[in-house]
Amino acid sequence: MGKVLSDAQIRRYREEGFVSPVDVMSEQEASEYLHRFEEAERRFPALAHAHKRNNVHLSFKCLDELAHHRVILDAVEDLIGAHFSLWATVLFCKEPQSPHYVSWHQDATYMGMSDTEFVTPWLALTPSTPTTGCMQMIPGSHQHIILEHEDTYAEDNILTRGQVAKGIDESTAVDLVLKPGQMSLHHAKVVHGSRPNTSAQRRVGFAMQSYMPPQVQQVVGNNLWLDIRGVNDRQNSRRLNRPEYDADPIAAADRDLADANLDDILYRGAAQKRGY
């Protein structure tokens, strides 16, 4: 039994590459975080628009708090141990009746890491259902190699390159239905994606992508990390600053650095580049 996850949940993660749902907070608490985020989004639209959704935790205090939430971190510790840092975050906002989707892919494909033993929590701030475009996972797909991905640059694909993993058997896909305040956790190699939001409600999810133990090294791009728990000594690395308040200029400068580095990593070798 871990700090948060049961033995059965830990076993499911090891065998299937993900575990869901995991309770993090009440729906009321999730609603309060959503309100704080949307208020910050309204006040600082340049910091969280549709093409600037990476690393918003370095701009908005509410998302920084979520990235340091005890329950989330305890669950991560149950899976990868007591020493880890945060690489980046992605805010997924699917507007009502939106055509945007996420194609089948593996996170580790373009992240430029020395290892793939790291984990991404995905926290729902609104209902995440098949109608709103919840995540889907291919159970057990993390146990295989990194698949060949084709860069499509499809207009409605949320991914940077519109990358699509080849040879996927969609018949085995599992919908990860989450209530506000629940999360899923998934392995860097598990194949996953999501459909468009066909509902009348905005779908908001916050992915902490990813928490990594110190043995995972950045081998493409620069070493930029946010220290989270334990000892995380990495060679030639730079530690990022947490925001003290919304739009904190010190953390904002770090976000600009982190976003530019992320673009360099994710688009390395790409035929074209577009907003994410």
CA dist 147 and 109 (Å) reads 8
The confidence score (pLDDT) of residue 268 equals 85
Burial zone of 242 (CB within 10 Å; 0-12 exposed, 13-18 middle, 19+ buried): middle
Give the 3-state secondary structure of residue 247: coil
- What is the assigned CATH class of domain 7-266? mainly beta
238's CB contacts (< 8 A; 6+ apart) are 222, 223, 224, 225, 257
The confidence score (pLDDT) of residue 267 equals 87
At 153-194, the pLDDT tens digits run 777 777 777 676 778 889 999 999 999 999 999 999 999 999
At 9-32, the pLDDT tens digits run 999 999 999 999 999 999 999 999
Q: Domain coordinates of the chain in residue numbers?
A: 7-266
Write down the mean pLDDT value for the chain.
93
Per-residue confidence band for 65, with pLDDT thresholds at 50, 70 and 90:
very high
Ranges of beta strands (E only) in the chain are: 18-23, 84-86, 89-94, 102-105, 119-124, 135-137, 149-151, 163-165, 174-175, 182-187, 192-194, 203-208, 211-212, 223-229, 237-239
Strands 84-86 and 223-229: antiparallel
The confidence score (pLDDT) of residue 121 equals 99
CA dist 204 and 223 (Å) reads 29
The confidence score (pLDDT) of residue 179 equals 99
CA dist 2 and 216 (Å) reads 22
* Neighbour count for residue 2 (Cβ, 10 Å): 13
At 86-129, the pLDDT tens digits run 999 999 999 999 999 888 999 999 999 999 999 999 999 999 99
Tokens representing 84 are 């880890």
Rounded alpha-carbon distances, angstroms, from residue 91 to 66, 171, 212: 12, 28, 19
Per-residue confidence band for 132, with pLDDT thresholds at 50, 70 and 90:
very high
Report which DSSP code applies to 237.
E
At 35-48, the pLDDT tens digits run 999 999 999 999 99
User: Is residue 276 predicted with pLDDT exceeding 50?
Assistant: no
At 230-275, the pLDDT tens digits run 988 887 789 999 999 999 999 999 999 999 999 999 888 777 776 5
User: Is residue 150 predicted with pLDDT exceeding 80?
Assistant: no
